[in-house]
Amino acid sequence: MILLTAVIIIIPFIVVSIFISEKEIDFNLVSNKTIRVKRASKERIDIVPFEEYIVGVVAGEMPVSFHIEALKAQAVAARNYAYKKLESETKSDFDVIDTTANQVYLDLDDLKNSWKSKYVENINKIRQAVSETMGEYLTYNNEIISLFYFSTSNGETESAEMVFNIDVPYLKSVSSPWDKNEASGFNGTQVFTKEDMCKMLSIDCSKNLEINNINRASNNRVREITINNKTFKGTEIYKLLKLRSTDFEIEINEDKIIFKTKGYGHGVGMSQYGANGMAKEGYTYKDILTHYYQGTNIQKF
């Protein structure tokens, strides 16, 4: 009986001690490189240690619940993007903006407010992903690459040439079958009134609405479509209507125009949900990166 009582007392003490002793891991920076971050909502410019910036981008761009290998892949991709921004010649007083105009960046105060009691656990996971890829970046023919990434593929990624008019061998369409099961928002529905849609597309809809000549690529993304005798690129419809994807079907229900989409984002480069699906199947972050950016190599400063 005495032994049982002691166990009952000791076990909670051990559990509490472990919880209390959980500390934020030290993040030893290996260089004094910094980056100037424009904080759009805070109306200031922060000078941030470069790898701490990568921590804030990984936290802002990818769910912390994702597999560690997916987070590592995101860290390398974010580093590539930031390096290219630093490389570019600019007279601006900042290097990057902390929004989707560049990469979403959250500082430690933002993350503490967001994660609350989970802060230490989550920041340690993100820092692990960044520290284990410290200084790594992707190259093609020994040159650091410009890259893109996005949320969710429709099953295949998109060529940069189709979206950004950039023809490079490492930003071509590749298969991404993992997204459908990984992303709860894989299928989307957006509804417009005929009046609103016509206004957004700057077309005359005084008569009946006619949608025809839908031209699709092999990855099912819309290349061209004609609406009331005006021909649009699929990417134009995607941008003008702020659709979730260029893979869409259209239904007309009286005055309602219904767009049913697959995937989320421009489709170029690494799919984040695809990366998580790959990681869950045992692929490493290097496997993920070289799949979505084919022909590239990982190097380290």
> From the first residue on, what is the mean pLDDT of each consecutive set of 10 residues in the chain (301 residues)?
43 39 67 90 96 98 98 98 88 94 97 98 98 97 97 98 97 98 98 96 90 96 97 98 98 94 98 98 98 98 84
Q: Residue 124 — left, alpha, or beta (φ > 0 → left; ψ -120 to 50 → alpha)?
A: alpha
- What amino acid is encoded at 171 in this protein? L
Gap between the Cα atoms of 133 and 128, Å rounded: 9
Predicted pLDDT of residue 208: 86
Predicted pLDDT of residue 75: 98
Gap between the Cα atoms of 295 and 125, Å rounded: 29
Query: Diameter of the chain by CA atoms?
Result: 88
CA distances from 267 to 93, 149, 167, 271 (A): 31, 8, 15, 7
Continuous segment of H or E residues that includes residue 90: none
In the chain, where the domains are located: 34-180+267-300, 187-262
Predicted pLDDT of residue 89: 64
CB count in 10 Å sphere of residue 41? 8
pTM above 0.85, yes or no: yes
Predicted pLDDT of residue 90: 73
Contacting residues for 228 by C-beta, under 8 A, at least 6 apart: 198, 203, 204, 205, 207, 209, 210
Q: For CA atoms 58, 62, 64, 66, give the dihedral sign.
A: negative
Gap between the Cα atoms of 237 and 245, Å rounded: 10
Contact in structure between 186 and 179 (CB atoms under 8 Å): yes
What length does the chain have?
301
Predicted pLDDT of residue 116: 97
Predicted pLDDT of residue 91: 82
Gap between the Cα atoms of 36 and 32, Å rounded: 13
Contacting residues for 240 by C-beta, under 8 A, at least 6 apart: 200, 201, 232
Contact in structure between 288 and 70 (CB atoms under 8 Å): yes
Contact in structure between 257 and 193 (CB atoms under 8 Å): yes
Gap between the Cα atoms of 101 and 97, Å rounded: 7
Strand-pair category, 270-271 with 149-150? parallel
